[in-house]
Amino acid sequence: MLEYSTWSRRVVDLAGALSRLEAEAEAAGIAPQVTAAWHANLHQKLVPQAVDAPYLIVAVAGGANMGKSTMFNHLVGFPASRVHHNAAETKHPVCMLPRGFTDRHDLAKVFPGFTLQPWKSEDDAVAEGHPDGLVYREDPTGSQPENLVLLDTPDVDAALPNNWKLAEAITHAADVLIALLTQQKYNDEKIRRFFRIAAEADKAVLAVVNLIDWPDDRDHCRGWLDTFRKGTGAEPLHAYAVPRDRAAVRDNRLTFHPLSPRATDPRKDLAELQFAEIKIRSLRGSLRQALDPDEGIPAYLRDLEKRADDNRQARAVIHQKVQVKIDLPRPPGHIVGDEIWRWLEPRRTWFDRKVHGAYGALGRTVAKWLPGSVEPAEDEARFLAEEKTQLNKALEAVYHDLEQVHRVGSPALRQELQPLIAGDQRRRAFEELQRRLAAAPLATEAYRRAIATRLEAFEAEHPTMMRAIEWGLVATAIARPAVTIGMFGAADMAAGPLFDAGGHAIGQVFFDVAAGSALTAGGEGAFARISGPARALIGDLFAAFYRERAELLAKVIDDCVVGRHLDRIERLADLGQGQDFQTAYKLAAELSRELAALDEPALEAAAAEG
Amino acid sequence: MAERFTKADWEREHLLAGFDRLHDRLRAWAKSAPAWPPYDEAKGLVERLDPRLRVPEIDLDRALVVGFLGGSGTGKSTLFNALLGRRVSRAGKEFRPMTRRAVVACHPDVDPAFLGLDEDALEIHRLNIPLLEQMILIDCPDPDTQDPEDGEGGGRHLDILRSVLPHCDVMVHTVTSQKYKSHVVGQEVRRNAPGRQILFVQTHASIDHDNRPDLRRYLDTLGLRVPEIYRLDAAEAQAKQDAGQPVDAEFARFRDLLEHELASRARHRIRRANLLGLYGWLLSAIRGPVDAGLEAVAKLEGALDQERARMAAKIAAKMSERIDANRRLWRSRVLRQLNQTWGAGPLAFLIGLWSATGSLLRSLILLRARTPTQAILAGGWTAVSLVGEKWRESRAAAALTAEADLGLTEGDLAHARTILQGYLNDAQIRPSPSDDGGDFSAEQLATVAVEVYRRLDAEINEVVEKRVARRAGRGVHVVFEALFALLPAWLVLHMAKNFFYDHMIQGESLLGLDFVFQAAFWCLLWGVAVGGLLLSRLNRGLDHDLKAVVDRLAHAPLLDALCRDASDACLAVRTHSEALAALERDLADLERRVGGVLDLGLGALRVESPPELAAPAANPIPAKTPIAAG
């Protein structure tokens, strides 16, 4: 026998891990399988009843207008659930608890997922109300056995899907089903399927053939029950026939004709059931159904794993395909130059500053009249216009790539990308890019700090060289009118550092900043003699500038284009590796193995018998 | 032909011609639909339903086919037998399902072969009774005992049901207290409702409650109109017939309706109503996705307009800037125009001289004119057409020039292109690209630019001409010439007095050559002053007018050509949807002429509201497989 305490612990752990996993999956866009049989088995039955449940839940189940409520009223002994001549009127399960049940048990834990409503009148069951409502009452007569919980359920076949949902959910919690059958409906596909699922979960079944013409139909009843047995696989413990009798219904005194050898009256027979055996069988049956390899928890886990795989693949594809290469235009020379001068300012000698100032003014005046020279403002405008063009084109390229990925991607990925490449989203992204470009100053505070840091590091590394530059400035102060520092070493940038500008783990967009090719501004090139480290320094300073600009696009792409969705892809991709997934997987596998080991001797015995 | 063509015949022919026309137009509509997913879907639907839509069928003198549909045990077979007055189809409660094949009851004269059913699927009973003279009754298997997923065991009776129902003109839907709300049966009724009439019957009247009010509510949620529900007990009727007693009133009424009203009198009417119902259902099934799709198309069009407006605004801004920056150019153009208008006259001559020097300067400027706008401002279309020639030769280079000059960058185009692509995807429109490189391409922009320039030139020309004509017309010319002539005239008088009076009579000396030079100098100065006055009068507010021109251009549909492919595709989709509306009007017209069958107590699918809207919750049937057409 499956050790009660060891596996109940693990079932609770499994349910916890699965709940967390489902929450994670839901956050990433996978709807939880609340309607699946395993879900109901696990949460409605195994978790609430595995630890401590010395009671049996008996549910009256069947199709619309078959007399479920009538049967229920008979079982509880008074009209507790309204009987209506129209079909599909019972919209909420009605639960009759033995006296003192609520003192011993927490009802919210016995029926998780239901909105519990105390019984007020027999009309509660037919009232429109909460879609998850369950009406409960403690047995007022005191005649109900203390370990028996009785349930009336909505129909399983009429045109109100919420009724089926409730009926199925509550039935999963039950140990014993009272199966209502009529000559019209006993072999309906919906009814058959409903009881087949219950039979597969090893629930005990009492069959009641209702609305018959007694005794004309006596012989038919046996045939109908045989068909029911064959169609559902259920083996009713007892079977009864109930004649059609409106007066009896009204007075709540049904006549039961036993159709099986030891059957008397369901009320009496229920009280005499072998509680422990039925309980364990139904729990084990529920566990078996929950762990069904094709439809149960293993299938769900497999499904999750597959989604995770898909998304991992999607992540790889996006990573691979969505890359933009931007040829940022030649930066305005004075931007970098000015910043370097600004940094040098406090370090310069008075003489140097004065001479440079004077020559600088002269140089600027002269430069204005030189052919091919450009004003700083004009240079900036040109840079901004070209940069805007380039960034717009880059964004176009990103969208083009995304569309390619969308076209060839898996269905899950396509669904994920669909809203991303819609027109409205594109417009937002472009507008955001224009807005941010307009708002971004050319040289930001961050850039200034980057330059300062870099220069200071350089000074610390090569103090002599910095001294030389400073002295060189003094020296050239006399020699040059227009040499500016900003332009030297530009050719080094041709190699162009490949850097990532995005902060996002997956939204990394690589910018191959091939800047150097365009960097020929200024024209002086007087510092060509400067040795390696200094050239690297200048290269870095420009790269820092470009990084600033490229980051702007990367941020737009991250914020407006793909970010949030990639987040989901990322989360889904990692789902299969999480702790909860591993736990659930391990527990499900263990329990399945043990269950199979238990079933084996039983099967062998059955084989030996047959 | 001996018989005369009666008025009724005429009407009938006329009606049939109407059906023919509707059919032809629907087919033509489907055939000529532009490539767009909702239209493709519509095409498929029309194709599938075509055998049933064809007209000759409806007026054939063949018997009315009545099928019985209902859950297992609701008394289909019992009712069938009771109507025939004998036990033909096996009825009872020993097994479920009882009827596993279609049981056909027909007159010996009628050949049920036109049903095209498989021999295994049905058993045929030929009975020589009056009821069957104009009617075929088919008892069908139930839809609710077979598991559509496993299908074993119970045989394929669900499939048989689905192959029989498409042949029925009228369905008799039987329900009981237990089964009237059965989901499976309800869906089957819905699936088969298009294009046929339905009679609703609650059976087991003697033992069951009357559930008709609730049933009516339920059928209403399925999108069915329900004029009447019969409530009868077929078993009792059968028993009474066996015993030779008269059947009860409701059953007799029902049998009467079938035998006398439907089968003989209203047969053609029912068929026509069925066909119209089918058309109505088909058109609303087409209309739903089309309308949903048109929303996306409208969004696309809005986006196109927005992008165009954005570009037009940029172009306008750039051009106003140009007008401000190139005052001299357009002023010289006014001068030239003035010169051409005035012709002869001393001031005109002087201005001509001025203009000539101006032209010389202008040609120099033209050499420097780097952009078409400058060229237009200065010299007009001839200059631009030269540029245009060159553009046509090399499109790529032209595009660059056009972008720079129009104030648009490649980035703006990329921006517009990308957004357009997004909305195109949303609207599922794939425009066929024309040879000019596609929407918002640089090439397309170049073509548009040439057009913009041509219009700009023409407009500026008009503004200048109008202005010269209004502010410097003949009267003004005379006044200014007179004004200008004042000084020379006085000088001539003065010189004449000097010569004839002072010199000849008084003997004073003649005015010297220096006087003539000085006079000429002052004349020139006077001319400049007068001319300056004239030109300032002419030029005042001209920049304002030119900007108004730019503004007009920005709002003109000049940029429509910028994304012609997409807007053409949108237009095609729209036009075709309007053609669908015309079809709907045709159908409504035909419906008015045929008239309904409501008076007969027949139910059917409500046409006025699409079924998708009527029962959104309980409608798992995808639109693609609406019915099992035979």
3-class SS letters over A419-440: HHHCHHHHHHHHHHHHHHHHHC
- From B148, B181, B415, residue closest to A87, measured CB to CB: B181
Which residues of chain A from 364 to 393 reach within 8 Å of chain B, CB to CB? 385, 388-393
Residues of B in contact with A430 (CB under 8 A): 415, 418-419
Residues of B in contact with A65 (CB under 8 A): 177-179, 181
Cβ-defined contact of A187 to B303 (cutoff 8 Å) = no
Q: What percent of chain B lies above the pLDDT cut of 70?
A: 83
Residues A533-550, mean pLDDT to the nearest whole number:
69
Give the sheet arrangement for strand B170-175, strand by strand.
Answer: B122-126, B102-106, B135-139, B64-70, B170-175, B197-202, B229-231
Residues B223-236, mean pLDDT to the nearest whole number:
91
What is residue A594's predicted lDDT score, i.e. its pLDDT?
86
> A242, A273, A304: which is the final residue of a domain?
A273
Strand partners, B171: B67, B198
* Chain B CA closest to residue A68: B178
- A305 in a structural domain: no
CATH number at residue A133: 3.40.50.300
Is there a single domain that holds both residue A401 and residue A541? yes
- A15 in a structural domain: no
Nearest C-alpha neighbor of B335 from the set B171, B488, B472, B517:
B472
Q: What percent of chain A lies above the pLDDT cut of 70?
A: 77
Higher per-residue confidence, A556 vs A494: A556
Q: Average per-residue pLDDT in chain A? A: 78
Cβ-defined contact of A244 to B178 (cutoff 8 Å) = no
DSSP string, B18-65: HHHHHHHHHHHHHHT--S-HHHHHHHHHHHHHHHHH-SGGGG--PPEE
| B293 vs A: CB within 8 A | no
* CA-based end-to-end distance of chain A: 23
Q: Average per-residue pLDDT in chain B? A: 81
Helix, coil or strand: residue A239: strand
Nearest C-alpha neighbor of B447 from the set B549, B559, B569, B311:
B559
Top mean pLDDT of A136-140, A247-251, A485-489, B622-626 is at A136-140
Higher per-residue confidence, A156 vs A440: A156
pLDDT single digits (tens) B580-626:
999 999 998 888 887 666 666 777 777 554 444 333 333 333 333 33
pLDDT single digits (tens) A390-428:
888 888 888 888 888 888 877 777 877 888 888 888 888
How far is residue A465 CA from its own chain's centroid? 58
Nearest-10 crossing angle of helices A4-27, A297-321: 30
- A603 in a structural domain: no
Half-sphere exposure at residue B189, Cβ-oriented, CA atoms within 13 angstroms: 34
Residues A332-346, mean pLDDT to the nearest whole number:
70
pLDDT single digits (tens) A298-337:
999 998 888 888 888 877 777 777 766 667 676 666 676 6
- A293 in a structural domain: no
A437, pLDDT greater than 70: yes
Is there a single domain that holds both residue A328 and residue A470? yes
B630, pLDDT greater than 50: no
Six-digit token string for B584: 């709907």
A353-367, A537-551, B181-195: segment of lowest average pLDDT: A353-367
Which residues are within 8 A (CB) of B112 and not within 5 positions of it... i.e. 6 or more apart? Answer: B104, B106, B124, B136
Which residues are within 8 A (CB) of B265 and not within 5 positions of it... i.e. 6 or more apart? Answer: none
| A65 vs B: CB within 8 A | yes
CA B25 to CA A329: how far, in whole Å?
59
- From B178, B299, B617, residue closest to A182, measured CB to CB: B178
What is residue B155's predicted lDDT score, i.e. its pLDDT?
55
Give the sheet arrangement for strand A204-212, strand by strand.
Answer: A115-118, A133-138, A94-97, A148-152, A56-61, A176-181, A204-212, A238-243, A257-258
What is residue B368's predicted lDDT score, i.e. its pLDDT?
52
B211, pLDDT greater than 90: yes
Is there a single domain that holds both residue A413 and residue A476? yes
Residue in this structure with the two tokens 């080094």, named with its chain if needed: A492
- A243 in a structural domain: yes
Distance from CA of B37 to the nearest CA of A (A): 17
pLDDT single digits (tens) A95-126:
999 998 988 888 888 888 899 999 999 898 88
Residues of B in contact with A395 (CB under 8 A): 414-415, 418
How big is chain B, counted in residues?
630
Which residues of chain B from 77 to 96 reach within 8 Å of chain A, CB to CB? 93-96
- A535 in a structural domain: yes
Residues of B in contact with A436 (CB under 8 A): none
> pLDDT confidence of A352, banded at 50, 70, 90?
low
Cβ-defined contact of B93 to A220 (cutoff 8 Å) = yes
What is residue A564's predicted lDDT score, i.e. its pLDDT?
65
Cβ-defined contact of B303 to A192 (cutoff 8 Å) = no
Strand partners, A206: A178, A238
Is there a single domain that holds both residue A210 and residue A350? no
Contact A128, A91 (CB under 8 A): yes
What is residue B236's predicted lDDT score, i.e. its pLDDT?
92
> A273, A301, A322: which is the final residue of a domain?
A273
DSSP string, A108-164: HHHSTTSEEEE--STTGGGS---TTEEEEEE-SSS-S-TTEEEEE---SSBS-HHHH
| A250 vs B: CB within 8 A | no
Domain hosting A487: range is: 313-575
Q: Please say whether the dihedral angle defined by the alpha carbons of residues A576, A581, A584 and A586, taken in this order, is positive or negative.
A: positive
Is there a single domain that holds both residue A357 and residue A489? yes
Contact B262, B236 (CB under 8 A): no
* Chain A CA closest to residue B212: A86
What is residue A490's predicted lDDT score, i.e. its pLDDT?
32
Residue type at position A526: A
Residues B539-551, mean pLDDT to the nearest whole number:
83
Cβ-defined contact of A86 to B414 (cutoff 8 Å) = no
B68-77, B161-170, B355-364, B416-425: segment of lowest average pLDDT: B355-364
Is there a single domain that holds both residue A83 and residue A229? yes
Top mean pLDDT of A47-56, B356-365, B612-621 is at A47-56
> pLDDT confidence of B364, banded at 50, 70, 90?
low
Question: Number of folded domains in chain A?
Answer: 2
> pLDDT confidence of A491, banded at 50, 70, 90?
very low
> pLDDT confidence of B547, banded at 50, 70, 90?
confident
Looking only at Cα atoms, what is the longest distance across chain B? 161
Helix, coil or strand: residue A459: helix
Residue B105, φ and ψ in degrees, nearest 5: -115, 125
Is there a single domain that holds both residue A268 and residue A413? no
Which residues of chain A from 328 to 357 reach within 8 Å of chain B, CB to CB? none
Q: What percent of chain A lies above the pLDDT cut of 90?
A: 19
Is there a single domain that holds both residue A450 and residue A506? yes
| A407 vs B: CB within 8 A | no
- Provide the ipTM: 0.72
Nearest C-alpha neighbor of A497 from the set A533, A466, A536:
A536
Cβ-defined contact of A426 to B422 (cutoff 8 Å) = yes
What does the CA dihedral A65, A69, A72, A76 come to, rounded to 10 degrees? -160
Residues of A in contact with B420 (CB under 8 A): 423
Residues A242-264, mean pLDDT to the nearest whole number:
89
Is there a single domain that holds both residue A348 and residue A440? yes
Is there a single domain that holds both residue A114 and residue A224? yes
Is there a single domain that holds both residue A201 and residue A96? yes
- A29 in a structural domain: no
Is there a single domain that holds both residue A260 and residue A166? yes
CATH topology of domain B61-266+597-613: Rossmann fold (3.40.50)
| A520 vs B: CB within 8 A | no
Q: Quick count: other Cβ atoms within 10 Å of Cβ B237?
A: 26
What is residue B574's predicted lDDT score, i.e. its pLDDT?
93
How far is residue B144 CA from its own chain's centroid? 43
Cβ-defined contact of A188 to B144 (cutoff 8 Å) = yes
Task: Tell me the domain boundaries of chain B.
Answer: 61-266+597-613, 293-574
A74-83, A368-377, B584-593: segment of lowest average pLDDT: A368-377
What is residue B571's predicted lDDT score, i.e. its pLDDT?
92
pLDDT single digits (tens) A157-172:
888 888 888 888 888 8
Six-digit token string for B25: 């137009």
- A609 in a structural domain: no
B212, pLDDT greater than 90: yes
> pLDDT confidence of B118, banded at 50, 70, 90?
confident
pLDDT single digits (tens) A512-526:
332 232 233 333 333
